[in-house]
Chains A and B, each alone.
Chain A
Amino acid sequence: MTQIQKSNSELVTQHYLGKTTENRTMYYLQISQPSDKIKKIIWMDCGIHAREWISPAFCQWFVKEILQNYKSDPKIRRFLQNLDLYILPVLNIDGYIYSWEKDRLWRKNRSPHMNGTCYGTDLNRNFNSSWGSIGVSYNCSSEIFCGSGPESEPETRAVAQFIKNKSSDILCYLTIHSYGQYILTPYGSTTKPPSNNEELVGQHIHLLQAVTCGTSLFTLLPFLQRKMAAAALMGKYGTSYKVGATSLILYSNSGSSRDWAHTIGIPFSYTFELRDKGTHGFVLPPDQIQHTCEETMLAVTAIIDYVDRKYFPGGAVMLTASSLGLSLCLSVILTWNVS
């Protein structure tokens, strides 16, 4: 991370976030186009769960892609005018290192319990959102042990404190996991939908067109509510992702970072569960890493783009129905969007 900051210092700065259980330092990267404008924030963290190796890989890919293309890619240029990107490449550093050195399928952090006879809290059950109520265990030996209390873990506190402080400026909270191929919206602890559920789940199709047709055509088609990010993702390699509320399409859980971010007022809060659907699970083969990162990049930039256009309308936006381009795009969309 230090190297990235050094070689891209006009755009990237490294910042201290906190310390882990084993006293390792947590840093986040801030990608910020210098300007006198006051920016809003997109937060993305990876590696809350140690064994989900594709997740930190994606955060690194994302940073690399932004830095390589921010001068040439008009979409990135546009949103960097208004948005700063805060990236935490590995949230659960201790667990991640443990999964490399000792136990490939470790999930939790490395906090000791019961006099050092049992280790680890599930950091994604440790946030203060209906903490300890459902989809957790109070037993340290469980993989979904929620800890001794909400925000009991230093890693959780480091992230929560920071996000709370900046919450009025954070428009979007993204947290990257594997596996399952889902884009999950709040909530996990209840099936009652959040107030902006329609918008979270069913996004407008115009961004879809922009992504798949490779143009900056931007046409509102409100009658075609579609799962924009999932559709964008699928356009790359045909990988299909399910979109919806965790409690409805996956399982019930409480104390997740995504739910907590939404309850403190961050409007767009998503969990990504990357490839695959269980064939390889956590141990994704190397030949799938790049494709996974590329397709996920499309989905994440589609979400960032949407947030950017929603909160910063105007500028170089073309609300045009240039008919040839539109009908070409529509035919592409409608064929593989029938599901």
Chain B
Amino acid sequence: DVLDKDSTVNCTAEVLYHLGNKNIAPDVQFTLEGELKNTDEADNVFYNRIKSLEKELVAENIPDNHGNVSPEMEPIHLLAWVASGYVIWQNSTENTKFQLAQIKHVKQVKRSDEYLEFDYKILLHEMLTQEIIPWQMTVLWHPQHGVEVTRDSRQPKEAPE
């Protein structure tokens, strides 16, 4: 558990890469040996905080260039981690190793229902090619309904300065 260094839960997974078609996400079957911590309280605190914001949340560079994440941005960071996991899964092959490198930009999108919506621009690091790949993802979240990535797309590398 990244947030609780003393807590380790073993997880075994079987990952099957599709040999014929590299465009299909690998098949993943996993088993958790134990239980994950309950995060209801922290989830609700975050949810209520965002819901009560007067202006939509906007932020850049999480973590900052020195690796700092402010406490208020920590849940935004964690949400991006989870959501990028989905994007990484959908784009993984036997020859890729992706990690979330940084959130370049995040903007909350106003919604009339109970969900929170965030528009992220993230940077993924791919180990074999060493590329930094910008990626856009639209993330929906609700404490009881979990995370959903409703839209995501690879972005072109920005022109150098």
If over half of A's interface residues share one DSSP class (helix, strand or loop), that class is named, otherwise mixed; here it is loop
Checking B69, B101, B129 against A144 with a beta-carbon cut-off of 8 angstroms, the contacting residue is: B129
Contact between B63 and A105 (Cβ–Cβ < 8 Å)?
no
B146 at the interface (CB under 8 A from A): no
A197 at the interface (CB under 8 A from B): no
Number of interface residues of A (CB under 8 A): 26
Checking A105, A141, A286 against B132 with a beta-carbon cut-off of 8 angstroms, the contacting residue is: A105
A122 at the interface (CB under 8 A from B): yes
Contact between B161 and A285 (Cβ–Cβ < 8 Å)?
no
Stretch at the interface among B20-28, B29-37, B50-58, B120-128: B120-128
Contact between B67 and A105 (Cβ–Cβ < 8 Å)?
no
Contacting residues of chain A (62-115) with chain B, CB-CB under 8 angstroms: 100, 102-105, 107
| CA gap between A102 and B132 in the complex, in Å | 15
In the bound complex, residues from chain A placing their C-beta under 8 Å from that of B160 are: 103, 119
Contact between A280 and B67 (Cβ–Cβ < 8 Å)?
yes
Query: A248 to nearest B CB, angstroms?
Result: 15
Contact between B125 and A281 (Cβ–Cβ < 8 Å)?
yes
Contact between B130 and A107 (Cβ–Cβ < 8 Å)?
yes
A241 at the interface (CB under 8 A from B): no
In the bound complex, residues from chain B placing their C-beta under 8 Å from that of A107 are: 130
Closest residue of chain A to B95 (Cβ to Cβ) is: A251
Query: A63 to nearest B CB, angstroms?
Result: 22
Closest residue of chain A to B102 (Cβ to Cβ) is: A283
Contact between A142 and B67 (Cβ–Cβ < 8 Å)?
no
Checking A100, A142, A283 against B131 with a beta-carbon cut-off of 8 angstroms, the contacting residue is: A142
Contact between B161 and A105 (Cβ–Cβ < 8 Å)?
no
Contact between A282 and B63 (Cβ–Cβ < 8 Å)?
no
| CA gap between A100 and B128 in the complex, in Å | 24
| CA gap between A144 and B125 in the complex, in Å | 13
Contact between B63 and A142 (Cβ–Cβ < 8 Å)?
no
Q: A105-B102, A279-B2 are in contact. Are A143 and B129 (CB under 8 A)?
A: yes
| CA gap between A140 and B132 in the complex, in Å | 15
Closest residue of chain A to B160 (Cβ to Cβ) is: A119
Number of interface residues of B (CB under 8 A): 21
Contacting residues of chain A (280-332) with chain B, CB-CB under 8 angstroms: 280-286, 288
| CA gap between A278 and B88 in the complex, in Å | 13
In the bound complex, residues from chain A placing their C-beta under 8 Å from that of B127 are: 180, 251
B155 at the interface (CB under 8 A from A): no
| CA gap between A292 and B20 in the complex, in Å | 42
Flag A231-259 by CB within 8 Å of B: 1 or 0 each: 00000000000000000000100000000
| CA gap between A137 and B68 in the complex, in Å | 33
Q: A281-B125, A283-B67 are in contact. Are A122 and B101 (CB under 8 A)?
A: no
Contact between B130 and A278 (Cβ–Cβ < 8 Å)?
no
| CA gap between A105 and B99 in the complex, in Å | 13
Q: A137-B129, A278-B125 are in contact. List 8 more A-B contacts (CB 8 A).
A: A103-B161, A144-B130, A278-B99, A281-B125, A284-B67, A285-B66, A285-B69, A286-B66
Top-4 shortest CB links A-B: A285-B67, A278-B99, A143-B130, A104-B65
Contact sample, A vs B, 27 pairs, CB 8 Å cutoff: A102-B161, A103-B160, A104-B102, A105-B101, A105-B102, A119-B160, A122-B130, A135-B128, A137-B129, A141-B157, A142-B129, A143-B131, A143-B132, A144-B129, A180-B127, A251-B127, A251-B128, A279-B99, A283-B65, A283-B67, A284-B67, A285-B63, A285-B66, A285-B67, A285-B69, A286-B67, A288-B67
Enumerate chain B interface residues (CB-CB to A < 8 A). Answer: 2, 63, 65-69, 99, 101-102, 123, 125, 127-132, 157, 160-161
